[in-house]
Amino acid sequence: MNANFLQTPIDYLKGVGPNRADLLKKELGIHTFQDLLNLFPNRYLDRTQYYKIAQLQQTNAEVQIIGKITHIKTVEQKRGKRLVATFVDETGSMELVWFRGQKWIRENLKINVPYVIFGKTNFFNDTFSMPHPEMELLETHEKSIRSAMQPVYPSTEKLTNSGITNRVINSLMQQLFIESKNAFSESLSKTILNELKLVSKKEALFNIHFPKSHAHLARAQYRLKFEELFYIQLQLIRKNLIHKSKIKGYTFEKIGHNFNTFFSEHLPFNLTEAQKRVIKEIRNDLGSNAQMNRLLQGDVGSGKTIVALMSMLIALDNGFQACLMAPTEILSVQHYQGLTKLCKKLNTSIELLTGSTKTSKRREIHKKLENGELNILIGTHALLEDKVKFKNLGLAIVDEQHRFGVAQRSKLWHKNEYPPHVLVMTATPIPRTLAMSVYGDLDISVIDELPPGRKDIKTVHRFDSNRLKVFRFIKDEISKGRQVYIVYPLIQESETMDYKDLMDGYESIVREFPPHGPGPNYQVSIVHGQMKPADKDYEMSRFVNGETQIMVATTVIEVGVNVPNASVMVIESAERFGLSQLHQLRGRVGRGAEQSYCILMTGHKLSADAKTRLETMVRTSDGFEIAEVDLKLRGPGDIMGTQQSGVLNLRIADIVKDSEILKIARSYASQTLKADPNLSSEENIPLKEAYSQLVKYRNIWNYIS
């Protein structure tokens, strides 16, 4: 079948006039034969099974039954007549009911002749009934060649109202298969088909629309899912390869004084194996002549900062500048302080630029950036201002925690003549499956190991009714010299209410933990979004310095603060937080040598999803596992970080449910391109053809909404 046939406008299919064509285009996006062919059923009516009347359940599902009509009567009622037939099999009896077309039915139905009926059942007055059943004489039924699994296609109200029912779509599909003689060309290579034992394209298309059995359908679905995911991966990986061959970057050949001195003399600890591996991956990228575009995933506390620093030192060794951008002021300051300390013995110049940098300082930074005196610039989005001009930016690192601003990344590109290498660090573990599909064109490094000696954080779920016990526990911890976070939700839609909750909470905490009077006394800090930055910083610094024992806060503390002495994280109304947020918050404790705790407080009324979230938090601290659960609960569309980069809009595969197929598809796509980057071998002719069709008619960006 040549591809042109499938590009025929849908108007030319027998049975489709201008009106229908119009509706199909508007309602289902079907413009061509190809589009119709790719309209896969949502589900199938299972006509492979026959039920006995005694087996019927009150599920309102479609069932198929063999039996006879014993008699028919008309029942008068206020709102008109209905026709009721008694239908029996050897196990019992039920009713068939018609409200319309009664005359015709009465004249045509045969008494005491076996029928096959099909439809949904109702249960009323101890009797099952089936309104307007589909009926066929058993004799005809047995002869019919119609497929046993009947497809139900996606539809819209407008289509149904305009007479384009499922039956019509079905017959159009049949027409398409007749006209094409089912001669659809294969789009996968022989090797792939053989190795994975996939059914042919023809067979798959036929059985997705007209399955002969469950087994046939399953094989068809598997093949089509594989194909869909395979071609997405092929496009993503190819894009990445093209990027590498086309977008040249500075080659950092040298590993020089800065890196070596730091590595041999100033490393404050031994690197974990994961850190070493990731640094090697980054070194390889920087040493090649392609621009690096890498995502570094590592759970909270996994030690991404040192990796960032060592990468920047490589840039410096090659005579380039580097920058590190963080999402908040607090975090930028912390990075600045941490990195300055680490580099104290090196001869590097590091500056901090944020929204609150004074004008004079700002001017000085601008100048030193442009003349190259400044090596490393750390800061917030202030780095992106037009006035900030680097002499030669070689590496841009974005510590985005859970924000993933593609646009921001690309903006940094324009800071100098050639694009700098880009490393994006994220603490939100993006499930592997999702990362593979959405960020397939980025290289991904993962730090999947925490530095040694970290104690697992003990996580428990407590109901509000146990609050007094929790307070007692907090007092014990404070008496041992520890500090405590108490976090309240801040959800934008109801900010004022959240604010009130926070203030009420704060007051009750201060009452429970009084600043003076008999018994032990306490100091409580409070930080929330409505405070002035200066006040926030003041409160924060009191906690950091250990002047206060308790920090009451909204989720503003989520990113940034590092207080190793804090060992208890209490999360109020924990059921209102998303999993990734809970995980981020928990990451604020467990940074010191002491055993840490996370206490999730909730009321008794919990939704099923909330229960799952809480159970997951209690069960595991593996960020990737948590992210997978999050993906299952919320679907790919809601996962942090994916909003801006788009979510796959798949026709048949499901990123969550079909993650196994996705892995296989990815590995095949990458093997294929490795062996034959331009798909020019004989073997890969089908791939090349399908691929060029795809790029021509359905580019990857069509998948990404």
- The full 3-state SS of 438-459, as one line of letters, equals HCCCCEEEEECCCCCCCCCCEE
Other residues' Cβ atoms within 10 Å of the Cβ of residue 458: 14
Nearer to ligand ADP, 30 or 309 (CB): 309
Q: How far is the CB of 269 from ligand ADP (least distance, A)?
A: 4
Nearer to ligand ADP, 64 or 297 (CB): 297
For helices 608-619 and 579-586, the axis angle rounded to 10 degrees is 30
Amino acid in the structure at residue 414: H
Using DSSP bridges, classify how beta strands 483-487 and 550-553 pair: parallel, antiparallel or unpaired: parallel
Cα-based angle 244, 670, 205 (whole degrees, multiple of 5): 125
> Which two three-digit tokens encode residue 505?
């909470």
> Which two three-digit tokens encode residue 428?
């939100």
Q: How far is the CB of 39 from ligand ADP (least distance, A)?
A: 46
Identify which of 674, 645, 672 has the alpha carbon closest to the alpha carbon of residue 230.
Answer: 672
Nearer to ligand ADP, 400 or 630 (CB): 400
The 134-137 sheet, strands edge to edge: 122-124, 127-131, 92-98, 80-89, 62-77, 115-120, 134-137
Interface residues with ligand ADP (CB under 6 A) are: 269-272, 275, 298, 300-306, 427, 451
Residue located via tokens 């009321």: 603
Identify which of 125, 129, 158 has the alpha carbon closest to the alpha carbon of residue 53.
Answer: 129
Nearer to ligand ADP, 35 or 399 (CB): 399
DSSP string covering 639-657, please?
STTTTTT--B--SS--TTT
Q: How far is the CB of 338 from ligand ADP (least distance, A)?
A: 7
Identify which of 526, 568, 532 has the alpha carbon closest to the alpha carbon of residue 548.
Answer: 526
Beta bridge pairs of residue 77: 80
Q: Cα–chain-centroid distance for residue 126?
A: 47
The 421-426 sheet, strands edge to edge: 350-353, 376-379, 321-325, 393-401, 421-426, 293-298, 443-447
Nearer to ligand ADP, 341 or 361 (CB): 341
Q: How far is the CB of 583 from ligand ADP (least distance, A)?
A: 12
Nearer to ligand ADP, 30 or 430 (CB): 430
Contact between 298 and 427 under an 8 Å Cβ cutoff? The reply is yes
CA distances from residue 612 to 245, 383, 572, 615 in whole angstroms, order as listed: 45, 40, 17, 5
Nearer to ligand ADP, 129 or 302 (CB): 302
Cα separation, 229 vs 485, whole angstroms? 44
Q: How far is the CB of 179 from ligand ADP (least distance, A)?
A: 59
Which residue's C-beta sits nearest to ligand ADP? 303
Q: How many CA atoms lie within 13 A of 480 on its CB side?
A: 14
Q: How far is the CB of 324 from ligand ADP (least distance, A)?
A: 11
> Which two three-digit tokens encode residue 583?
């995980």
Nearer to ligand ADP, 299 or 498 (CB): 299
Q: How far is the CB of 305 from ligand ADP (least distance, A)?
A: 3
Residues 653-675, buried b or exposed e (16+ Cβ, 10 A)? bebbebbebbebbbebbbebbee
Nearer to ligand ADP, 305 or 380 (CB): 305
Cα-based angle 439, 440, 442 (whole degrees, multiple of 5): 70
Nearer to ligand ADP, 104 or 269 (CB): 269
Please, which contacts does 694-698 make with residues 24 or more away whose CB atoms are closer than 8 Å?
694/231, 694/235, 695/235, 697/7, 697/34
Nearer to ligand ADP, 303 or 327 (CB): 303
Q: How far is the CB of 565 from ligand ADP (least distance, A)?
A: 13
Q: How far is the CB of 564 from ligand ADP (least distance, A)?
A: 7
Q: What are phi and psi of 141, to 5 degrees?
A: -55, -45
Q: How far is the CB of 567 from ligand ADP (least distance, A)?
A: 15
Q: How far is the CB of 287 from ligand ADP (least distance, A)?
A: 23
Q: How far is the CB of 445 from ligand ADP (least distance, A)?
A: 12
Residue located via tokens 């002035």: 532
Residue located via tokens 């190809």: 34
Q: How far is the CB of 303 from ligand ADP (least distance, A)?
A: 3
Nearer to ligand ADP, 166 or 445 (CB): 445
